[in-house]
Amino acid sequence: MPVLPGAEPYRHDGGDVGVLLCHGFTGSPQSLRPWAEFLAERGLTVSLPLLPGHGTRWQDMQVTSWQDWYAEVDRELRTLLRQCRTVFVCGLSMGGALTLRLAARHGDAIRGVVLVNPANKVHGVMAHALPVVRHLVPSTNGIASDIAKEGVKELGYDRVPLHAAHSLRRFFQVVDGELPQVTQPVLLLHSPQDHVVPAADSARILGRISSTDVREILLEQSYHVATLDHDAERIFEESHAFIGRLAPGAAGTDEGQGADQAGGVGVAGEKGSTTGG
């Protein structure tokens, strides 16, 4: 099947600091394209792959699994590691889970991690019914376009394929068990009003990772697909500052930029935390 217009993967060869961006379940690179272009315009090398089974039709996801999705981002990461001296990994929703597994498995090869509304669990009654229901019903209602900003749409499937959802549930369990192996600096941005992934997922991730350099930011004006929402520019700028702090001299960043954010685990109401607005 041909890739939907706008869902194509994106690649930009820039400087020796690379960034891998991972999109979400049933979504496409379109949801992260503005972020990728923002970083590319500042001289960074950027890779935004299209995950297998995505960006065409939802039926194509039925024959893919989390191993396929993870293998794709792992390949892209290895390419960046060969090309760049420093590499960061970022992800939205399920892309956040992919990012965390890359961080757990690749260790110090990844300099820092940026998570936007990262998912950690399939919630609700459907989660427990998936092992059986997926053999009876092929799909359920889609989860795309949870966006507060009027007139903005996410290019994602209008149906969730249940075989793929079952695989996603198993993937979250795998990643949850690996979270203590994540030690890199982490920037986590999440929306209090998220109709797809509850705040409990971000809280669990922050509570289980072993990173000591952690900053949490609340995106008060956005829903789940915050990278296309009112807080998009803030996500782009905060991630760019995060990269600049950890990779001084990176193209388009000021050396020492964001130094006041270094160190400490930020939680709501404490050191290192910032709320939107």
Active-site annotation holds for 224: yes
Residue ranges with strand state E in the chain: 10-12, 17-22, 45-48, 86-92, 112-116, 139-141, 159-161, 186-190, 214-218
DSSP symbols for 27-96: --GGGTHHHHHHHHHTT-EEEEPPPTT-SS-GGGGGG--HHHHHHHHHHHHHHHHHH-SEEEEEEETHHH
Residues 225, 34: Cα–Cα separation, whole Å = 12
Active-site annotation holds for 139: no
Give me the catalytic one of 23, 54, 190, 224: 224
Give me the catalytic one of 28, 93, 139, 202: 93
How many CA atoms within 13 Å lie on the side-chain side of 170? Answer: 13
Going by C-alpha positions, the residue among 80, 94, 88, 83 that lies closest to residue 108 is: 88
At 249, list the tokens. Answer: 């001299």
Give me the catalytic one of 194, 201, 213, 229: 194
Residues 88, 109: Cα–Cα separation, whole Å = 9
Identify whether the C-beta of residue 109 lies closer than 8 Å to the C-beta of residue 81.
Answer: yes
The single-letter DSSP state of residue 116 is: E
State the catalytic residues.
Answer: 93, 194, 224
